[in-house]
Amino acid sequence: MKFNRFEEIDVWKLSRNLVKEIYTISDNPAFSKDFGLKDQIRRSAVSIPSNIAEGYERKSNTEFVRFLYIAKGSAGEVRTQLYLAKDLNYINEENFNNLLNKAEEISKSLSGFIKYLHSTI
**C-alpha to C-alpha distance for 85 and 31, rounded to whole angstroms:** 8
Q: Give the pLDDT score at 2.
A: 81
Q: Assign 1 a pLDDT band (cuts: 50, 70, 90).
A: low
Q: Which amino acid is at 86?
A: K
Q: Assign 121 a pLDDT band (cuts: 50, 70, 90).
A: confident
Query: Does any domain span residue 52?
Result: yes
Query: Does any domain span residue 5?
Result: no
| CA angle (49 as vertex; 108, 70 as ends), nearest 5 | 65
Q: What stretches of 1-121 show up as alpha helix (H) in DSSP?
A: 10-25, 29-32, 35-57, 61-87, 93-120
Total domains present in the chain: 1
Query: Does any domain span residue 2?
Result: no
pTM strictly above 0.75: yes
Model confidence pLDDT, tens digit, residues 31-77: 999 999 999 999 999 999 999 999 999 989 999 999 999 999 999 99
Query: Does any domain span residue 46?
Result: yes
Write out the residue range of the structural domain in which residue 46 sits. Answer: 13-120
Model confidence pLDDT, tens digit, residues 77-119: 999 999 999 999 999 999 999 999 999 999 999 999 999 999 9
Q: Give the pLDDT score at 98.
A: 98
Answer left, alpha or beta for residue 89, where phi above 0 means left and psi between -120 and 50 means alpha.
left
Query: Does any domain span residue 7?
Result: no
Query: Does any domain span residue 6?
Result: no
For 12-23, what is the mean pLDDT? 98
CATH assignment of the domain containing 26:
1.20.1440.60
